[in-house]
Amino acid sequence: MATRRALHYVFKVGDRTATAKFYKEILGMQILRHEEFEEGCKATCNGPYDGKWSKTMVGYGPEDSHFVVELTYNYGLSGYRRGNDFLGLTIHSRQAVANARRLGWPMREEGDLFVLEAPGGYPFRLRDEDVPAGDDPVRRWGLACSDLARSVAYWGGIIGMTVAERAASRALLGFGGRQASLELVQLSEPIERAAAFGRSAFACPTAELAPAEARARAEGGTVLTPLVTLETPGKADVSVVILADPDDHEICLVGAEGFAELSQVDPAADDLLQKAIDADKSDQWFAKKGGKKTED
């Protein structure tokens, strides 16, 4: 559907300092927005946790023209066990490759790509080339699936993506144009999401949210969060529906109208993140209690 657009992928992180350094100094991204919340999100944006958390958006440019990353941090958790569900974010950037080499960040070659891991173990694939001026360096994100035909049918029928490439065990889907694409790869082993599972987010007209939810229900799909309006103090309210595909990959469909205002780049974002990190005394508190918990 031409009216829909891929927005971001969500990672849970346990170390904001190390994570921010990776995205800024290795990948060359910028901090776009940072927000702090006193209680869990009604749409479980931060996972199945009720306590204080933060959200930091990072990317190569505004979310209305770039596929970005949402970093969620739950106070009190130092990390999350990863499964095999997320297969990597692919970025075309000579500068990112040069940064990793210069700073000694571990990389391995995999065909014509360099593979490295962000803090927390999330894989990234770097191609040592640049995109044309004005294009987004983030080209695709990869998810594992157990039945490629079933997954392609779901992401096409419910989410509205079209197949750009297809092989025996993988398919590339998107909305056309210069947007980042979703790569689905069929694995032979069971899909394990574990505690570090993420979420793909897409913008669509608010009027399409209820029909998308109804279509998912009619086809026997999973609706994790029915249509709900999320309030952000001092900013626009935004409507969302949270779905899950046949392998339980979470999908957020967000009303484009409210999100357009909510997703504006905040020039103070970097300072807000650093201020929150400096004010976070949970490491010291948990050190007295035997350390923060790693979520399994």
Give the pLDDT band of residue 260 (cuts 50, 70, 90): confident
Tokens 């993420």 correspond to what residue? Answer: 198
Token output for 40 = 């869990």
Q: What is the pLDDT of residues 77-101, one digit of tens each?
A: 999 999 999 999 999 999 999 999 9
pLDDT bin (cut points 50, 70, 90) of residue 281 is confident
pLDDT averaged over every residue in the chain:
93
pLDDT for 288 beyond 80: no
Q: Are 63 and 140 in contact (CB under 8 A)?
A: no
Starting at the edge strand that comes first in sequence, how are the strands of the sheet with 123-127 ordered?
A: 108-110, 113-117, 123-127, 86-92, 138-145, 181-186, 170-174, 162-166
Query: Residues near 274 by Cβ (< 8 Å), separated by ≥ 6?
Result: none
- The pLDDT > 90 percentage for the chain reads 83
pLDDT in tens, 1-15: 458 999 999 999 999
Cβ contact 14:81 at 8 Å: no
Amino acid at 283: D
Apex 270 CA angle, 77 and 286, nearest 5:
20
User: What domains can you pick out in the chain, each with its CATH number?
Assistant: 5-197+270-295 (3.10.180.10)
Position 136 scores a pLDDT of 95
Neighbours of 104 (CB within 10 A): 7
CA 265 to chain centre: 17
How many angstroms separate the CA atoms of 130 and 152, rounded?
A: 29
- Dihedral of the alpha carbons of 205, 264, 75, 225, in degrees to the nearest 10: 0
Cβ contacts of 261 within 8 Å, gap of 6 or more: 235, 236
- Alpha-carbon gap, residue 124 to 45, rounded angstroms: 22
pLDDT at res. 259: 87
In this predicted structure, what is the pLDDT of residue 290? 62
Cα dist from 27 to 22, 23, 153, 178, 296, whole Å: 7, 5, 33, 20, 28
Strand spans (E) along the chain: 5-13, 30-37, 53-59, 68-74, 77-80, 86-92, 108-110, 113-117, 123-127, 138-145, 162-166, 170-174, 181-186, 199-204, 222-230, 238-244, 250-255, 293-295
Give me the pLDDT at residue 295, please.
77
For residue 166, the model assigns a pLDDT of 96
Q: How confident is the model at residue 42 (pLDDT cuts 50, 70, 90)?
A: confident
The pLDDT tens digits of the residues spanning 194-237 come to 999 999 999 999 999 999 999 999 999 999 999 998 877 677 78
What's the CA gap between 25 and 37, in Å, rounded?
A: 26
> What is the predicted pLDDT for the residue at 236?
77
pLDDT tens figures, 26-41: 999 999 999 999 999 9
- DSSP E strand boundaries for 30-99: 30-37, 53-59, 68-74, 77-80, 86-92
